[in-house]
Amino acid sequence: MRCLPECYSCLEGLVRRSLLLTDLEPRRHDEILEVALSYLKENFSSNSFSADLAGELQRIIRSKSGNSDPFAKVKKEEISLARHYVEKYSPPVSAPLKELVHFAAKGNGFDFFQDLEMLEKQFQEPVEMACDESTLLGELLKHDKQVLYLADNAGEIFFDLPLVNYLAQLATVYYAVKESPTQNDATLNDLEQSGLFDSFPHVISTGTDSPGLDLKRAAPSFRRLLDQADLIIAKGMAHYETLPEFSLLQPVFLILQVKCEPVAQDSGLPRDSYAAYFLE
């Protein structure tokens, strides 16, 4: 997905938030801020891709600050809070596919920076889906199929696990996380630190440090698995923004909350709504 004018302020906000998390002394903070914002100003256009810019801005911040994972503390707190809510509100083992898809979608709306009372209320209420093609997803699942499940944020891994385990009864499922940090995306290290690594049937790294899908930097092993997969399930807006740019032959089932106006405009879905559907 190419940038809309509104994307500029969002990317600038990402830069400022990420730099605050590096906890640098003021002079060094301001120097790196100037470098990052100069890069954004020079490279932002209607032909640029927001996920590509976000990834490069994060690399600039990590490289210049010497902090390899500015979101490490945030992710640790997200994982702890997600564990709490999933233990409290996780669907039963016998839950049908649709309920598990809705639960995974709810995880995409999970955000540590939200008010805790709002989060509690959110988890108590059912997910209102603006678009739901869970039934079609169930019709595609077969024992001889390979499913590639592209993870999103670190806290979401707890919300993904019930769905992944359900899918694993019907197909071979590979759960793909980032190799190294980018924003608060789940990485191999985050999965290990959560204690859930062995709970997933098959875990693979994308080999990248980019939001969404970045085939230019992807590991050969991931590329091979991507080519072999019969079905791709992808979480979050960064995958919505990047997956359509590739000529993938497999059906792609996206699960997300629409968190910004540009994605709402592009998708035709209401802002803040949840959706689980096949990309065309």
Question: Distance (Å, rounded) from C-alpha 229 to C-alpha 234?
Answer: 13
pLDDT at res. 113:
55
Cα 58–Cα 64–Cα 67 angle in degrees, nearest 5: 70
pLDDT at res. 115:
64
Please report which helix (H) or strand (E) contains residue 219, including its range.
none
Q: Are residues 14 and 147 in the same domain?
A: no
Give the mean pLDDT per block of 10 residues along the chain (280 residues).
92 95 95 97 95 96 96 92 89 95 91 64 82 94 91 95 96 97 95 95 96 95 96 97 93 95 93 94
Helix (H/G/I), strand (E/B), else coil: 92: coil
Crossing angle of helices 7-22/50-65, nearest 10°?
Answer: 20
67 neighbors 74 (Cβ within 8 angstroms): no
Q: Are residues 174 and 262 in the same domain?
A: yes
Q: For residue 168, is it within any domain?
A: yes
pLDDT at res. 125:
80
Q: For residue 120, is it within any domain?
A: yes
pTM flag (> 0.75): yes
Beta strands in the chain (DSSP E): 129-132, 146-150, 172-177, 203-205, 231-235, 252-257, 274-278
Instruction: Report how many domains make up the chain.
Output: 2
pLDDT at res. 127:
85
Domain enclosing residue 145, as ranges: 93-278
Q: What is the dihedral of CA 113, 115, 119, 125, to 10 degrees?
A: -140
Q: For residue 209, is it within any domain?
A: yes
98 neighbors 169 (Cβ within 8 angstroms): no
Question: Distance (Å, rounded) from C-alpha 219 to C-alpha 274?
Answer: 31
pLDDT at res. 280:
84
